[in-house]
Amino acid sequence: MVRLRNIIILPLILVSAWFLVTKYEIFSPYLLPSPQKTFSVFWQLLLDGTIARHLSISLLRVLGGFFCSCLVALPLGILCGRSKRFHDFFWPVLEFLRHVPPLAAIPLIILWFGIDEASKLMVIFLASFFPLFLNTYGGISNCDPKLLEVGSSLHFSAWQKARYIQLPAAVPSILVGLQLALGYSWRALIGAELIAASSGIGYMILDAEQMSRPDIVLVGIFCIGILGTLINRLFLKFTFRLLPWQRKAGNN
């Protein structure tokens, strides 16, 4: 109960401040709509199914892009962490790409992938690839050599050492990568939906901007924030199960 109280203090203060600022019209209501107004618009959009429609499309895009990025980043990270040759082969190109923000690539992505779903998946893929790849790579390559030596002393083959020592040792780091990648996917979503979208929560926000409806923009932002938080919590619950040894140690 005390914990719940501590958690809601700051949000309450912020909403109250928002309420007071709009009540005394410190900013024009045209620029900053009141919380009541925003909530009633939210309720309306929720009831007529607008939010559900946009959110479900966005969610599918995020999960699709995230899934593609897992398919490529996980094996590549493991291979680069395992083999110096593989690492040297891929590193220069990956290092170059890492410094290019996905938004900078949008013109090319539109040119190459068109304005359909593929281009949106691509932007989300690019945004979530590196946190996942780098954390997987780091987890595998930073495996304690002393643990690997235990494998040698038990006459493990290279494959057995990878499977039974390096991979489990890298799991916490891979999970951090997955968590970061999921967060980055959400952030890249707006970028992806900037690409001539006609649906999705990012589209809803951009459309509201053009219609000068800051209340709808705020509703969109809240939806992204809240859904992102919920997904993250679900993810943490899932990882909690996967790492009983960290749970017992109280590190999680």
Partner 1 sequence: MAIKMDALTKIYSTAEAKVTALAPTTLSFADYSFTTIVGKSGCGKTTLLRLLAGLEKPTAGAVSFSTKNPEIGFVFQEPRLMPWLTVSENIAFATCKGGMSKEKLPQLLATLGLSAFAGSYPSELSGGMAQRTALGRTLFQNPDIILMDEPFGALDYFTRKGLQETLLELFRKERKTIIFVTHDVEEAILLGERVLIMQKGSITGAIPVTLTYPRDPAASEVLSLRRQILAGLE
Contact residues for partner 1, defined by CB under 8 A: 146-147, 149-150, 152-156, 160, 164-165, 168-169, 171, 243-245, 248-249, 251
Read off the tokens for 179: 């968590």
- Shortest Cβ distance from residue 173 to partner 1 (Å)? 12
Nearer of residues 122 and 143 to partner 1, judged by Cβ: 143
Nearer of residues 85 and 247 to partner 1, judged by Cβ: 247
- The answer to whether the CB of 158 falls within 8 A of the CB of 166 is no
- Alpha helix (H) residue ranges in 24-116: 35-47, 50-82, 84-98, 106-113
- Shortest Cβ distance from residue 81 to partner 1 (Å)? 17
Nearer of residues 168 and 225 to partner 1, judged by Cβ: 168
Residues 6+ apart with CB under 8 A from 64: 117, 121, 124
Name residue 59's amino acid. L
Read off the tokens for 11: 């949000």
d(CA 38, CA 90): 49
d(CA 222, CA 224): 5
Nearer of residues 63 and 171 to partner 1, judged by Cβ: 171
Nearer of residues 99 and 155 to partner 1, judged by Cβ: 155
